């Protein structure tokens, strides 16, 4: 367990494990990056990432822009392959997307010509193993109910607000009943009030479905209010700077107990703020040094 205020980078520990429950996702000694065939260069996005995610855990990932967060979640989704190392789900190496994992994207990624229910249906219509139509209908209705969109089945995306569109994105991820929900800055494009309402809803949904969640965010408060643990990624090439256990009681969205005003919340927030501002400054000075190196 890492306590706020400790500096895990001072320790040689390579692996960061939550000891409770069984390991569902394992990222082992992963390096990731992208080759530029034309210029014959390789950009290293992530370096030496080892991480275990426990079944039922809500893992939040924060880090400066471009540090490799999306690359990490895309490797778990099976969209991107590591350059070296391995990503496993239930002990099996990931070698492509699968029904056990679903992604919620920041820009919703809805099909504008399909209604809400047809967008949600998209996630299960091309599944191997035929789902009979009545069961499909029931699953879609249930997913829409969970995200509070019952009554909007026949609406088109352009008729919905940003928050409602993202609810469709979440329903589409839930309908396949995946074990793992991968969320890449899902509330980044909605206003502050809607964002908070959606965080509260997500907490409720997860309490019901008991899914494991890997959640990228740029918001420190969002990471603390939702996460069981927060992984802080350093500036690129991203390494794990620290993992913080969020030992705040749940539910975190409880009107009688405003967790954001608690001393513990403030403590974690200041610690994260310091870590991330160090990283942002490090990235800035690093890029100045690189530019100077290039012109020298």
Ligand X SMILES: Nc1ncnc2c1ncn2[C@@H]1O[C@H](COP(=O)(O)OP(=O)(O)OP(=O)(O)O)[C@@H](O)[C@H]1O
* Chain centroid, CA 68 distance in Å: 12
Residue 149 and residue 167 in contact, taking contact as beta carbons nearer than 8 Å = yes
**DSSP E strand boundaries for 111-239:** 180-184, 212-216, 229-233
Q: Which is nearer to ligand X, 19 or 36 (CB)?
A: 36
Least Å from the CB of residue 173 to ligand X: 18
Least Å from the CB of residue 68 to ligand X: 4
Sign of the CA dihedral 2, 186, 99, 171? positive
Report how far apart, in Å, the C-alpha atoms of 221 and of each of 137, 177, 199, 269, 271 are.
Answer: 37, 28, 11, 7, 12
First to last CA, the chain: 45
Q: Which is nearer to ligand X, 148 or 227 (CB)?
A: 227
Q: Which is nearer to ligand X, 31 or 155 (CB)?
A: 31
Residue 89 and residue 28 in contact, taking contact as beta carbons nearer than 8 Å = no
Least Å from the CB of residue 152 to ligand X: 29
Q: Which strands form 84-89's sheet, in the order they lie side by side?
A: 41-54, 23-36, 84-89, 92-93
- DSSP symbol at 107: T
Least Å from the CB of residue 59 to ligand X: 15
Q: Which is nearer to ligand X, 66 or 176 (CB)?
A: 66
Q: Which is nearer to ligand X, 69 or 229 (CB)?
A: 69
- DSSP symbol at 238: B
| Dist. CA 279–CA 128, nearest whole Å | 44
Which residues of this protein are in contact with ligand X, per CB under 6 A? Answer: 34, 43, 45, 63, 65-71, 236
Residue 90 and residue 24 in contact, taking contact as beta carbons nearer than 8 Å = yes
Least Å from the CB of residue 105 to ligand X: 11
Least Å from the CB of residue 236 to ligand X: 6
Least Å from the CB of residue 91 to ligand X: 25
Alpha helices in 28-102 (DSSP H): 69-77
| Dist. CA 153–CA 144, nearest whole Å | 8
Q: Which is nearer to ligand X, 70 or 166 (CB)?
A: 70
Q: Which is nearer to ligand X, 33 or 148 (CB)?
A: 33
């Amino acid at each position: 367990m890492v306590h706020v205020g400790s500096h895990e980078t001072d320790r040689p520990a390579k692996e960061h494990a939550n000891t409770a429950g069984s390991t569902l996702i394992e990222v082992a000694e992963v390096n990731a990056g992208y080759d530029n065939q034309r210029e014959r260069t390789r950009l290293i996005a992530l370096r030496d990432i080892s991480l275990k995610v426990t079944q039922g855990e809500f893992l939040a990932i924060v880090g400066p822009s471009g540090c490799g967060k999306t690359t990490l979640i895309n490797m778990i989704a099976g969209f991107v392959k590591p350059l070296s190392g391995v990503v496993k789900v239930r002990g099996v190496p990931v070698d492509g997307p699968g029904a056990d994992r679903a992604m919620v994207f920041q820009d919703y990624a809805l099909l504008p010509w399909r209604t809400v229910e047809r967008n949600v249906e998209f996630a299960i219509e091309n599944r191997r193993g035929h789902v009979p139509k009545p069961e499909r209908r029931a699953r879609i209705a249930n997913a829409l109910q969970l995200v509070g969109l019952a009554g909007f089945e026949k609406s088109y995306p352009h008729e919905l607000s940003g928050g409602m569109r993202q609810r469709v994105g979440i329903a589409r991820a839930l309908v396949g009943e995946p074990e793992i929900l991968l969320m890449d800055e899902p509330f980044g494009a909605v206003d502050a009030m809607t964002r908070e309402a959606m965080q509260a809803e997500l907490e409720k949904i997860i309490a019901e479905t008991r899914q494991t969640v890997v959640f990228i965010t740029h918001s420190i408060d969002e990471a603390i209010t939702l996460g069981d643990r927060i992984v802080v990624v350093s500036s690129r090439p991203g390494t794990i700077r620290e993992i913080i256990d969020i030992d705040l009681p749940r539910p975190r969205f409880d009107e009688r107990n405003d967790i954001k005003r608690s001393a513990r919340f403030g403590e974690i927030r200041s610690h994260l703020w310091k870590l991330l501002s160090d990283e942002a400054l490090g990235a800035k000075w690093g890029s100045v040094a690189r530019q100077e190196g290039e012109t020298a």
